Structure 1
Amino acid sequence: MRHHTHRKVSASKVTISELMLPSHANFSGKIHGGYILMLMDQIAFASASKYSGSYCVTASVDRVDFLNPIEVGELMTMKASVNYVGNSSMVVGIRVTSENIQTGKVKHCNSSYFTMVAKDNEGKNVTVPPLLLCSLEDVRRFFNTVKRISLKKERDLHEETFDHTTPEALAALKDYRVKYEL
């Protein structure tokens, strides 16, 4: 199935809200980070599949920084949308907030970016529709993703070229809370 018509970012928007239960909590009584990641993966799948009209798989997850813990009894909301498309890949931006339903106070808990790839029934990559940006907010998110992709390419290149076996590299370990016995 080939797509040539551009699709709006709004075609990818998905929101889920869920009440955080004691069964979702970790040993310190906050909502388990792994549970949040699982829900983020689900909403990324939903957003990318909705946008592309194809089955999608998670290719990578850009850093997830847990800014504020989510408490039991809070209403957690995730909003996702496709911010960027490649040929068969889409970058889905996800924003997680939680609301204290008694006070109405809302906190930003984390934001992350999932790279999803569209697949056909045989598991081969399929082309996704090109993106139609309809607001300056869409444009901002698109360019932020372009910037993140180029930074990741630079970082990967540095990791490939960095030689950790040199005397200089080993000497630099003294700057960290580590020692080596080789």
Structure 2
Amino acid sequence: MKLSIQEKIQNSRTSHFRAVFPELTNHHNTMLGGKAMEIMDEIAFITATRFSRKRFVVAGSEVNYTKPIPAGSIIEVTGEVTKVGKTSLKILVRVIIEDMYSNKTEEAIKAYFTCVSIDENKKSISVLD
């Protein structure tokens, strides 16, 4: 059965939780931006792959860091397809800080990743069948 684009978007939503321990932090006792970017890049890639089950590369990103992520927090990183192009997808990735010992949450990072579908020769191909 062929899925609609809306069904593919819904089915490809991705979520990942991680504790922010010292190996992820800098001298300010907050999460290193590069470590956060690494996790977000992976979530964008997984979301794109789950959408069309094709090979993808991340071709670009726009990242807005709005809040430092303190050590001892839990982060939730989510990915969702926001735009479907001919050969690319735009993926919204959010990083939400969750306090370990309360229900308090707040957005720390919001990013858009452009993922391009490629064939085995690394040439761009349609994201849809």
Please report how far the alpha carbon of residue 41 of structure 1 lies from its aligned counterpart in structure 2 after TM superposition.
0.2
Query: Is the aligned partner of 1:43 residue 2:51?
Result: no
Please report how far the alpha carbon of residue 5 of structure 1 lies from its aligned counterpart in structure 2 after TM superposition.
5.7
Which amino acid letter does the alignment assign opposite residue 31 of structure 1? M
Structure 2: any 5+ residue segments left out of the alignment? none
1:31-68 Cα deviation digits (max 9, x unpaired): 00110000000000000011021111011102x12111
Which amino acid letter does the alignment assign opposite residue 67 of structure 2? N
Q: Secondary structure at the match of 1:65?
A: strand
User: What residue is the counterpart of 1:126 in the other structure?
Assistant: 125
Is 1:5–1:129's contact at 8 Å kept on the other side of the alignment?
Answer: no
Pairing of 1:137-148 with structure 2 (within 5 A): none
Q: Secondary structure at the match of 1:93?
A: strand
Pairing of 1:1-182 with structure 2 (within 5 A): 6-7=4-5, 8=7, 9-62=9-62, 64-129=63-128
Please report how far the alpha carbon of residue 6 of structure 1 lies from its aligned counterpart in structure 2 after TM superposition.
3.3
Q: Point out 4+ residue stretches in structure 1 off by more than 2 angstroms.
A: 4-8
**Structure 2: how far apart are the matches of 1:12 and 1:87?**
18
**Structure 1: how far apart are the matches of 2:64 and 2:114?**
17
Structure 1: any 5+ residue segments left out of the alignment? 131-182
**Structure 1: how far apart are the matches of 2:45 and 2:118?**
12
TM-score by length of 2: 0.91
TM-score by length of 1: 0.66
Return the structure number with greater strand share. 2
Rg larger in 1 or in 2? 1
1:12-49 Cα deviation digits (max 9, x unpaired): 20000101110000121100011000000000000001
Please report how far the alpha carbon of residue 11 of structure 1 lies from its aligned counterpart in structure 2 after TM superposition.
2.1
Which amino acid letter does the alignment assign opposite residue 32 of structure 1? L
**Structure 2: how far apart are the matches of 1:81 and 1:108?**
15
**Structure 1: how far apart are the matches of 2:73 and 2:125?**
39
Return the structure number with greater helix share. 1
**Structure 2: how far apart are the matches of 1:37 and 1:85?**
23
Identity of aligned residues (%): 26
Count of aligned positions: 126
1:135-169 Cα deviation digits (max 9, x unpaired): xxxxxxxxxxxxxxxxxxxxxxxxxxxxxxxxxxx
